[in-house]
């Protein structure tokens, strides 16, 4: 009888641990790759990057539990697809191992830019990467 009790305790602990782990994960929702606007998670819990997938324009989106800390800041307002056919999903972002940097890719012509977000406005840049 004691063996059954011990087995029950072990199984209960394993199930409880798995349930707690599942609840601690952040749920990611799939995004439509052809949508005009997409949000990309950064490793900063308060910051996202918003991308206009047609033009390549980017914004740093800050949310907060305090009213004075939330808002949007322009990273690049330049239309990177100027003179090209407007195509939803043309641009996408790839995270790098540096928490402040992403690579912005024109998926049609292969152009690449470094997108750097920052809490400090003077450190926010979008720089073309030329071959």
Run of H or E residues at 59: strand 58-62
Is the residue at 21 inside a domain?
A: no
pTM equals: 0.76
pLDDT at 25: 54
Structure tokens at 21: 């782990």
- Put residue 104 in one of left, alpha, beta given phi > 0 → left and psi -120 to 50 → alpha: beta
**27-43 confidence digits (pLDDT tens):** 556 778 789 999 999 99
Is the residue at 12 inside a domain?
A: no
pLDDT at 67: 75
Is the residue at 78 inside a domain?
A: yes
Domain boundaries, position 43: 30-129
Counting the structural domains of the chain, the total is 1
Is the residue at 57 inside a domain?
A: yes
């Amino acid at each position: 009888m004691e063996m059954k009790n011990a087995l029950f305790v072990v199984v209960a602990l394993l199930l409880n641990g798995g349930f707690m782990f599942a609840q601690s994960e952040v749920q990611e929702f799939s995004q439509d790759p052809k949508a005009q606007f997409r949000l990309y998670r950064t490793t900063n819990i308060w910051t996202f990057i918003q991308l206009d997938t047609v033009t390549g324009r980017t914004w740093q989106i800050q949310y907060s539990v305090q009213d004075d800390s939330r808002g949007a800041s322009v990273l690049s307002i330049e239309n990177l697809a100027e003179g090209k056919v407007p195509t939803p999903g043309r641009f996408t972002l790839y995270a790098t191992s540096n928490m402040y940097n992403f690579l912005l890719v024109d998926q049609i012509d292969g152009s690449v830019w470094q997108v750097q977000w920052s809490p400090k406005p003077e450190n926010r840049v979008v720089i073309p990467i030329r071959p």
